[in-house]
Structure 1
Amino acid sequence: MHHRVWRPAPEPRLSRERGADAAPPRRREWNGGARVSTRLLLIAATCLLPLVGLQVAVGVAQWSERKAQLDGLAAHQAGLLKGNADGIAEGARILLAAAAIPEFRGSGDECAGRLAKLSGGAPGFAFVALVDPGGRVACASDPAVAAAGGEGDRWVRDALAAPGFTAGRFARPPGHPGGVLPFYLPLGAADATAPGATLVAAMDLNLLEQHLNGLKRAGSPLLANGVLTIADADGVILARDARHAEFVGKGFPPAAMPLVSATEPGTLRLRSIDGTDRLVGYTPPTPANHRLAAVVGFHEPQLMADVERALRRAAALLGAVGLAAFGLTLWVARRSIARPTRALLAVAKRWREGDLSARAPDLGRRSEFGQIAAAYNEMAAALQRREKEARGYTEALEARVAERTRELVEANDRLRVEIAERRNAETALLQAQKVQAMGQLAGGIAHDFNNVLQAVSGGAILIRRRAGDAAAVERLAGMVEDAARRGEAVTRRLLAFSRREELRADALDLGELLGGLREVLAATLGAKIRVEVDAEAGLPPVLADRGQLETVLVNLATNARDAMPDGGTVVFSAAAERAEDAAAAAPDGLGPGGYVRVMVADTGEGMDAATLARATEPFFTTKPLGQGTGLGLAMARGFAEGSGGTLAIASEPGRGTRVSLWLPIVVDGDARRLREAPLEPPVERRPAPPRAATPAPAGRPRVLLVDDEAMVRDVLAAQLRDEGFDVLEAGEGYAALALLDRGEALDAMVSDLAMPGLDGVALTREAKRRRPGLPVILLTGYAADAAALALGSDEGGVSALVRKPITGAELADRVAMLLHAHDRRLQAAG
C-alpha cells in the first residue's frame, strides 16, 4: 500500500540559497555593497569631476603656454646676444682693416710701433700682430707676443689657415693668462710689404666678460636673470657674465654639444656647466656669425614660479569646494536616508532571529522608504502564515520519516546477519579447499616417500640377510643410496615450493627441471589429469630463478586442472627458438636473440576473446568467489618479463589453452656473471688436501659430532671413523659444551643446526667463545636464510653450512678442507 506524503512547496530560490543567516558572497561588484551615503558621495564626486578636469586642462594649458613663451624668450635673448657678438667681430674687422693699410702699418721696426699705437686706440683688444707665411710673428704690438710667437702656437697655425676674415679659437699667448679670442684677416699676395701674411687682432677675454656684464644694465633688452655665454666653434667658453674666471677656456658639457653642430638657432633644457638645470637659448657657430656661439641660459623654475603659484591656489580652492560639497552631501544623507534605513534594518534583524510579528514603522506612502516598509510588513505577515502551516506539515512528515527509519534499521540488521553468515560460509569453503589441496599434496609426497622408504627398508633387510655375499651387499647398498638421493630430490622440490631456499637467477636445465616437476604434479593434480613432458634434447640453459619458475609452472598446471573438470592432459614442452625467425611466431615486443619457449598446454574448456584479453590483469579471475585470486597469470607474466623474456597465451573455446614462457638462453656475459656470483658450498666430492699437516692426538684428527638424532649421529660417527678421524659424540648442545669445558682436545666440530634447547648457531657461538678459531660445520635439512646470515658473520671464515643428506666421505672432505684452511691461517698469523 502506498501513502502520499505531503511536501511543502519549495521556497523562492533566493530564500533557499541565501537565507537571512547566509553569509554575503565573498566577491561583489563595487556598487553592489556600498552604503547609501557612500553612493551619494560618489554622485557628488562625479558631479565635481568635470570641474576638476576643467581645472586640470586649464592648468596644463597655462603650463604649456608658459613653456612655449620661455622657449621664445630664450631664443630671442640668444639673438640679442648674437647681435652684440657680431658688433664685437665688426670692431675687430675695422681694426684689422686699418692695420692692413701698408702706409699706416709700415715695415720693419716701424711695424711694431705703429701696431702698438693702433692697439692702444682699441682698448678691448690685447694685441695686434702680423704673421708671415712662414708661421713667424713678423711684428706685434706686444713685444712678449712677438718674442715668443711661432708656428708652434695654435693661434699662429690658425692664422695661416684662415680663408678670410673670421674669428679663431680660444688661445693663451704669453703674457695673457686670461686668454684671448683671435680674429684673422689674410692680406693676400697683392700686399706690397707682406705678401701672403695674416693680420691678427686678439680680443682680451677679461674685457669681453666686462662687456657682457655691461649688457645687463638698466633698460637693456637682455634680462638680468639670464646667464650670457660666448663660445668658439669647438664649444670652448670664451666669456661668461657669471663665474667667468672659473669656466673660461673649458668646454661645454656633453649635453650642450648639439648646439655646436646645429645650423639654426634653438633651445635646449640641460644641466649647465655650473651644475644648474637651465633653459638655454642659442645661436650656433656658423660662418655667418664668424663662428661664434651666443648662449643665454635661464633658471626655468624661477620663471615658472608665478604660474605654479596660480595653479596651487586654484587647486586649493577646488579642494575646498569639493570638501564642502562632500560634507553637505553626507549631512543630507544621514538625515534623510540613514534614519529610515536603520529602522528597516532593525526590523529585518528581528525577522532573521525568528520574530515574524515585528513590523516596520510607517514612513509615509509617498516616500520610497515608506513603500518598502509596507512591502516588508506584507511579506512578514505572509511568511508568518506559511510558517504556521508548514509546522503542522513538518510534524506529520517527521513522524513518517521516523517510521521509515525504523524499517531501514531492521532491514540493515538483517542484512548484516546475512553478510556475516555468508562470510562464515566462504571462510569454511576456503578452509575446506585448503585442506583438500594439502591432502592432495600430502598424498603425492607420501606416495614418493613411501617408494623411497620401501626401497631403503627392503634394501636394509636384504643386506642383513646377505651379509656374507659381498657383491649382493654392494648392489643392495647402491640401491639404497639411489633411493636416498630420490628422497633428497623430493625434499629439495618441497623446499623450493615453500620458498625456504634462497631465490636467485641461475643457469637452468629445463629438461631436467620439467622431468623432476612431473613427478610432483602427477600425484598432486589428481588421477584424472595426465601429465606429459616433451622437451628437446640438448636444450641450452636459460637464466632464471629456479624456485620462481617452478612456482609459475605449478600455478599454470593448477589453472589447467581447473579448466578440465572432467579430466584431461597437461603437456609441458620446451624448444629452442630465435625471436627473429618467422617460423617461431615470437610475441610482439620480444627482443632479438635466442630463447627457450616453455609451453604448458591443456585440453580444457579454453577462453573466449574477451576473457583472453583480460587474462593477465591482476585480480581478474573467472573462478567462483573464494576459489582464485586472479594473480597467477599476472605473476607469471611479471616473472617472464623480469627474466628478460615475455609470456604469450593462445586459447579458443573448446580447444584448450596454451601458455608460452619465452626465457632468454645464457650468453657469455651471463655465464661470466654466474661464475662470479657467490654460490652455496657444492655437495660434490672434492679431493681432500693432505691430512698429515693437521695436528691431532695420536696422529688422527679429533672431531666433536653433535646431533640429537641418535641414528644419524651413529651413522656419521662410524663413517668419519672409517675415514680416519677420532670422533667424540654428544646428543645435545649443552653436553657438547661440557666436553669443551672439560678440556677435551678437539680439531673441529660438526653439529646439527636444528636441535632442542641449544641450537647449532648458539652452540657455534659458545664453542668459539671457548675455543677461538675452532673450525665448525653445521648440518641442516633445509637452507634457512637466518642460519646462513648468522654464519656469514663468524670470524676467520672457516665455518661452513652443509645440507643433509651427506655421505661420510663428503663430510670427511669438508672437515679436512676446514682443517687445512685453519692451518694456513695459523701459519700466516705466526
Structure 2
Amino acid sequence: MRVSTRLLLIIAACLVPTLVLQVAVSWSQWAERKAQLDDLAVHQAELLAGTVDNIANSARILLGAAAELNPGPLPAEGCGRRLASLREHAAGFAFIALTSPDGVTCASDPALEWQRDGEWVRSAQRALSFTAGHFTRPEGYPGGVLPFYMRLADQPGQEGRVLVAALDLDWLEWQLRHLKRAGSPFMAGGVLTVSDDRGVILGRDVRHAEFVGKSFPPAAMEAMRATQPGTLRLRSIDGARRLVGYTPPTPANIHLSTMVGFDEAELMGDIERALLRGVLLLTGVTVIVFALTLLAARRFITRPTNALLAVARRWRSGDLSARAPGWDRRSEFGQLAAAWNAMACVLRQREEELRGYTDALEVRVAARTAELVHSNSRLQAEIAERQNTEAALLQAQKVQAVGQLAGGIAHDFNNVLQAVLGGVSLIRRRSGDPEAIGRLTGMVEDAARRGESVTRRLLAFSRREELRAGVLEIAVLLEGLQEVLSATLGSRIRVRVESAPGLPPVLVDRGQLETVLVNLATNARDAMPAGGALTLLADAQKVEGACEVKGLAPGHYVRITVMDTGEGMDAATLARAAEPFFTTKPLGQGTGLGLAMARSFAQGSGGALAIASAPGEGTRVSLWLPVTGGEAEADGAAPVHQGPALWDGSGPRHRVMLVDDDPIVRDVLVTQLADAGFAVEEFPDGEAALGRLGEAGRVDILVTDLAMPGMDGVALIREAQKARPGLPAILVTGYAGDAAALAVGAAVSGPFALMRKPVTGTQLADQVEALLGAAPGRAERMP
C-alpha cells in the first residue's frame, strides 16, 4: 500500500467520529420532529373533538328546550309549530322531531310527521339516554343529517317518546372550514374529519360532498377500535398519504370520532432540507480535506519516494554509480537518501572484490572440469564393461537354468519312456497271454500318467494351465497324504499331521495341491539326510488390513504349514529359494521348480506362499488358501467314468471328421473313436478337410488339433461353421492358456468344446456325445 494511501486512510479514520456524530445528531433531530408531529396531530384531533363536543352540547340544550315545551299533549299541528319555532333559533340543525313506538308524532318539518320507516326513526326507540345516532339521509335532506336522541320520561298514555335533533351535515362542513380561519389554533394544512363509531364520514372541510356518508378505508378502522387518542400513517380515502391524529369514539364523546390529517412530507420538508444541507456541507469539507491531503502527499511523500525508487532500479540494472538526491538531513527522506548512498558505495566496493574472486574461481572451475571430464570418460568405459559382463553372466545363468531344467525333465521322461517302451515290447512278445497283456497295459498307462503329471507340473509352474478348482476339505486331504508320505519318505522321517477342528473348505485344484505338498515333503526329506520329523499343520486364519505375508489380501484363509527339522537355509539361499530353476542340489538331482511351482499355484488360487528358515532351525513353508463361501461336499477321489460302451454293430453311427497332422496321434484317436461306435473320416490338414466338407458327404461333428501346418484348428472350425452353420466342433490341443483364450475368442457359431492332450478315448467319446446331444437338430446319422 502506498504511503499517500495510508495517509488518506488516517485522515478518513479521523473524520469517521465526526461523521458518525453528525449522523447521530441529524437522526435525533429527525426523530424528534417526528415525535413533535405526532403530538401535534393528536392535539389537533383533541381540539376538533372539543368543537364536536360543543355541537353535541348544543343538541343537548336544544332537545332540553324542546322537552320543556312538553309537545306531547298538543295536537300534531300545534306541536309541529312549536318545534319549528324552536328550530329557527338553532342554527345548524335540519329539524326537530318527536317519535314514539308508532313513528314520528310531530316534527318541525311537516313532511316528516307520521313516518315509520327510516333508520333514524328505528334507532330513536333504542336510545336510553342522550346520544348521537348514525349518518342518515331522510327524504328531502340529500346532504344527510346526524340525529341526536333524548328519551322523555314516560307518562300515562305517553310511553316511549324520544326527541330527535338532526344536525345538518352541510352546516357541519361549513363549520369545519370556518375553524381554519386566520388566527385559529387549527393548522391550515390539516384535513378535519368527523365520523360516527362505524367509521362513516359525517363531515370534512375538504371535498365534503364527495366523501360524506362513505366509510373509512380498512387501514383507518384501527382508530374506531382504539380507546385512547393516537396517530396513524396511512393512505386516506382521497388517496393521499397523511399523518392522522385521532380521538376514538367513546361514550364520553357520544360515540363520535374526530381526525386531523397532515401531509407529513410537507411538515418534515424544512428539517430534511436542513439535514441535507448539513450532509452536503460535511461532504464538501471531507472532499476538500482529502484533496489537500492528496496534494501534500504527492508533493512531500510521493516525489521523494519515486526518486529513491528510480535510484534503486538503476542499482538493480547494475549501475551502482547512481546516487539519491541530497535532501535536508533533518527529514526522514534526507536520512534515507544518505543511507542509500552509503550502501551504494559499499556495494560497489564489494562488487569489485567479487569480480576478483570470480576470475580466480573460473580458473579453478576450468581445472576441475577437465578432471571431471577425464573421470567421466573412465566411468563410462567401466559402465560399458560392467554391462557386457552382466549380459554374459545373465546368458550363462539362462544356459545353466535351461540345462538344469533339461536334466531334470530328461530324467523324468527317460523313466516314463523306459516303462512305456519296455511295456510295449513285453506286450508284443506276450500277445497270446491276455492276463499278461492286461497287466502290462496297466503298467504302460501308469507310466503315461506319470508323464502327464510331469507336464502338468511344468504348465503349473509357467502358470499357463487352467486350475481345475473344486471344494476341498483340507483335513481329509492331509489324513490321506500322511499314509502316502510315510511310505514314500522312508522310515527315517516321522510324518505327523495336525488339523484344527472345524476347518472351512477351500476352493482349489486337488491334484495341483497334492503335487505341491508332495514336492514340499520331498524337499524336507532332502534337507534331513540323517532323518528327522516332518509336520503338516492346518489352521484357519483371518487377515485384516496389512499382512506380513506379501500379496495377501484381507479375508479368511486356511493356512497349511509344512515344517521340518532339517539343516535350514541362510539368508542368501532363503532370498532365492522360490526362484525358478534355483536349487542347491547337485547337478541332475533337481530342476529347481518345486517351490516356484508352489508359489505359482498359491497365487493362482488367490492365496500366497511364505517361507521361514534359519541354519540349524529347519524350514517352515506356509501355504495360504482362501476359504470358499459355497457349500459342497468335500472333494474326494474323482469317480471313474466308464464312458460309452463299445459299438456292438447295431443302430445308426455318427460320422466324425478328424483332422490332425501327427499320423500316430491321428491313428490312435481314429481307433478309439471307431471302438466307441463312431464312423470316422481322417484328414492330415485343414485344406483337405474343407475340400471333403464341401462335397455331398454328411458330417455330424468336427474334431481337430490346434497347431497344424498351414491352416490351424481355430481357422478350420471357423471356415467349417461358415460352410455348415451350427456344426459342432472339438478343439484338441497340447497347449494351454493363450491357445484356449484364442479358441474361445474365435467367431464360432455352433456347439464348441476345448480338450487338452493327453485325451483318452473315453473322454473324447463322452465329449462327442455331449456336443451331439446339445445340437439334436444338427446330428445326421448314417448306417
TM-score, length basis structure 1: 0.74
**What is the one-letter code of the residue matched to 2:632?**
A
User: 1:332-386 deviations in whole A, cap 9, x for unaligned?
Assistant: 5555555544444433332232222122333344555444433332232222222
Aligned-partner SS, 2:261: strand
Distance 1:574 1:561 in 2: 14
Q: CA deviation at 1:624?
A: 7.2
**What is the one-letter code of the residue matched to 1:468?**
G
Contact 2:729 2:750 in 1 (8 A): no
Q: CA deviation at 1:473?
A: 1.9
In structure 2, the CA distance between the partners of 1:553 and 1:89, relative to structure 1 (3 Å rule), is: farther
Aligned to 1:166: 131
**What is the one-letter code of the residue matched to 1:94?**
I
Contact 1:511 1:539 in 2 (8 A): no
Aligned to 2:92: 124
1:730-745 aligned within 5 A: 730-741=683-694, 743-745=696-698
Distance 2:472 2:234 in 1: 95
Greater mean alpha carbon deviation, residues 768-777 or residues 298-307: 768-777
User: 1:112-156 deviations in whole A, cap 9, x for unaligned?
Assistant: 665555556545334444454x69555555677666646xx7656
1:573-588 aligned within 5 A: 573=536
Distance 1:185 1:385 in 2: 121
Q: CA deviation at 1:753?
A: 2.0
In structure 2, the CA distance between the partners of 1:751 and 1:175, relative to structure 1 (3 Å rule), is: farther
Match of 1:761 among 714, 736, 749: 714
Aligned to 1:78: 45
User: 1:746-804 deviations in whole A, cap 9, x for unaligned?
Assistant: 44332222222211111122223333444433222245465466358766643333333
Contact 1:753 1:778 in 2 (8 A): yes
Aligned-partner SS, 1:354: coil
Distance 1:328 1:235 in 2: 63
In structure 2, the CA distance between the partners of 1:821 and 1:547, relative to structure 1 (3 Å rule), is: closer
Distance 1:245 1:635 in 2: 113
* 2:452 maps to 1:499: no
Aligned-partner SS, 2:259: strand
Aligned to 1:670: 631
**What is the one-letter code of the residue matched to 1:34?**
V
Match of 1:711 among 641, 653, 664: 664
Match of 2:764 among 803, 811, 816: 811
User: 1:147-185 deviations in whole A, cap 9, x for unaligned?
Assistant: 6646xx765665455452222344455665654433232
Aligned to 2:231: 267
1:78-117 aligned within 5 A: 78-101=45-68, 103-106=70-73, 109-110=76-77, 114-115=82-83
Match of 2:3 among 31, 34, 43: 34
Aligned to 2:150: 185
Contact 1:236 1:252 in 2 (8 A): yes
Distance 2:29 2:321 in 1: 67
Aligned-partner SS, 2:357: helix
Distance 1:768 1:623 in 2: 53
Greater mean alpha carbon deviation, residues 409-418 or residues 158-167: 409-418
Match of 1:311 among 275, 289, 293: 275
**What is the one-letter code of the residue matched to 2:662?**
E
Contact 2:643 2:762 in 1 (8 A): no
In structure 2, the CA distance between the partners of 1:106 and 1:489, relative to structure 1 (3 Å rule), is: farther
Aligned-partner SS, 2:632: helix
Distance 2:328 2:85 in 1: 111
1:613-628 aligned within 5 A: 623=575
In structure 2, the CA distance between the partners of 1:414 and 1:501, relative to structure 1 (3 Å rule), is: same
Distance 1:396 1:625 in 2: 60
Q: CA deviation at 1:686?
A: 3.9
Contact 1:185 1:200 in 2 (8 A): yes
Aligned to 2:414: 450
Greater mean alpha carbon deviation, residues 278-287 or residues 546-555: 546-555
Match of 1:546 among 509, 522, 541: 509
Aligned-partner SS, 2:3: coil
Distance 1:531 1:124 in 2: 142
1:749-788 aligned within 5 A: 749-784=702-737, 786-787=739-740
Distance 1:393 1:458 in 2: 94
Contact 1:702 1:746 in 2 (8 A): yes
In structure 2, the CA distance between the partners of 1:578 and 1:41, relative to structure 1 (3 Å rule), is: closer
User: 1:447-482 deviations in whole A, cap 9, x for unaligned?
Assistant: 443333222211110111011222222322232233
User: 1:591-627 deviations in whole A, cap 9, x for unaligned?
Assistant: 99xx97633223368899xx9xxxxxxxx99737996
Distance 2:94 2:525 in 1: 131
Q: CA deviation at 1:243?
A: 3.2
1:481-630 aligned within 5 A: 481-503=445-467, 505-508=469-472, 510=474, 534=497, 542-546=505-509, 550=513, 557=520, 571=534, 573=536, 598-603=560-565, 623=575
Q: CA deviation at 1:92?
A: 1.6
1:219-618 aligned within 5 A: 219-335=183-299, 338-365=302-329, 368-397=332-361, 399-400=363-364, 443-503=407-467, 505-508=469-472, 510=474, 534=497, 542-546=505-509, 550=513, 557=520, 571=534, 573=536, 598-603=560-565
User: 1:297-330 deviations in whole A, cap 9, x for unaligned?
Assistant: 1111111222233333444444444545555555
Q: CA deviation at 1:577?
A: 8.1
**What is the one-letter code of the residue matched to 1:542?**
P
**What is the one-letter code of the residue matched to 1:766?**
E
**What is the one-letter code of the residue matched to 2:672?**
Q
Distance 1:109 1:80 in 2: 41
Aligned to 2:549: none
Aligned to 2:591: none
Q: CA deviation at 1:484?
A: 2.5
Contact 2:714 2:743 in 1 (8 A): yes
Distance 1:638 1:203 in 2: 116
* 2:163 maps to 1:214: no
Aligned-partner SS, 1:623: helix
Equivalent residues, number: 751
**What is the one-letter code of the residue matched to 1:707?**
D
Greater mean alpha carbon deviation, residues 773-782 or residues 285-294: 773-782
**What is the one-letter code of the residue matched to 1:243?**
R
Contact 1:688 1:813 in 2 (8 A): no
Greater mean alpha carbon deviation, residues 655-664 or residues 91-100: 655-664
1:136-147 aligned within 5 A: none
User: 1:269-323 deviations in whole A, cap 9, x for unaligned?
Assistant: 3333333332222222222222222211111111122223333344444444454
Aligned-partner SS, 2:224: helix
Distance 1:441 1:258 in 2: 112
User: 1:404-435 deviations in whole A, cap 9, x for unaligned?
Assistant: 66667777777777777777777777777776
Distance 2:713 2:238 in 1: 105
Ranges in structure 2 where 5+ consecutive residues have no aligned partner: 543-552, 583-594
Contact 2:717 2:748 in 1 (8 A): no
Distance 1:691 1:544 in 2: 42
